[in-house]
Amino acid sequence: MRIVSVLENQKKEKRIAITPEIAKKYIALGFEVILPENYAHHLSIKDNDYSEIGVKILKDEKEILNIADIIVQLNLPLDDKISSFKENQTLIGVLNPYENKDRIDNLIKKNINVFSLELLPRITRAQSMDILSSQANLAGYKAVLESFANFEKAIPMMMTAAGTIPAAKVLIVGAGVAGLQAIATAKRMGAIVFATDVRMASKEQVESLGGKFLTVEGAENLETEGGYAKEASEDFKKKQEGLLAETLKKIDIVICTALIPGKKAPVIIKESMINNMQAGSIIYDLAALQGGNTAFTSVDEIINKDGVKILGDSNILNKLPTSASNLYAKNLFNFVSNLYDKESKKININLEDEIIEKTLIK
Helix (H, G, I), strand (E, B) or coil at 351: coil
CATH topology of domain 137-318: Rossmann fold (3.40.50)
- Selecting among 49, 122, 323, 337, the annotated active-site residue is 122
CA-to-CA distance for 204 and 26, rounded, in angstroms? 40
Q: Please count the residues of the chain.
A: 362
- 340 catalytic? Reply is no
CATH topology of domain 2-119+320-359: Rossmann fold (3.40.50)
Q: Which range has the worst mean pLDDT, 90-99, 227-236, 313-322?
A: 227-236
CA-to-CA distance for 345 and 313, rounded, in angstroms? 41
10 Å CB burial of residue 95 (0-12, 13-18, 19+) is buried
- 228 catalytic? Reply is yes
Instruction: Compute the radius of gyration of the chain from its Cα atoms.
Output: 22
- pLDDT for res 219: 54
Decide if pLDDT at 65 tops 70.
yes
Q: Which range has the worst mean pLDDT, 9-13, 28-32, 229-233, 334-338?
A: 229-233
- Selecting among 2, 69, 103, 228, the annotated active-site residue is 228
Q: Tell me the per-residue pLDDT of 181-205, one tens digit each, with 9 for 90 and over.
A: 999 999 999 999 999 988 888 999 9
- Selecting among 5, 26, 39, 130, the annotated active-site residue is 130
| pTM for this prediction | 0.89
- pLDDT for res 51: 97
- 133 catalytic? Reply is yes
- Selecting among 133, 147, 202, 281, the annotated active-site residue is 133
- pLDDT for res 232: 63
- pLDDT for res 237: 74
- pLDDT for res 221: 56
Q: Where are the domains of the chain?
A: 2-119+320-359, 137-318
Residue type, 261: P
- pLDDT for res 344: 85
- 341 catalytic? Reply is no
- Tell me, what DSSP letter sits at residue 268? -
> Nearest CA to 74 among 288, 332, 314?
332
Q: What sign does the CA torsion over 92, 98, 103, 107 have?
A: positive
Are the CB atoms for 36 and 67 separated by under 8 Å? no
CA-to-CA distance for 15 and 11, rounded, in angstroms? 11
Q: Where are the beta strands (DSSP E) in 12-133?
A: 32-36, 56-58, 70-72, 90-93, 113-116
Are the CB atoms for 278 and 305 separated by under 8 Å? no
Q: What share of the chain is helix, strand, coil (3-state, %, to 5)?
A: 40, 20, 45
**2-119+320-359 against 137-318: fold identical:** yes
- 44 catalytic? Reply is no
- Selecting among 51, 127, 233, 272, the annotated active-site residue is 127
- Tell me, what DSSP letter sits at residue 177? H
Q: Tell me the per-residue pLDDT of 285-314, one tens digit each, with 9 for 90 and over.
A: 999 998 999 999 999 999 999 999 999 999
Residue 229 pLDDT level (bands cut at 50, 70, 90) = low
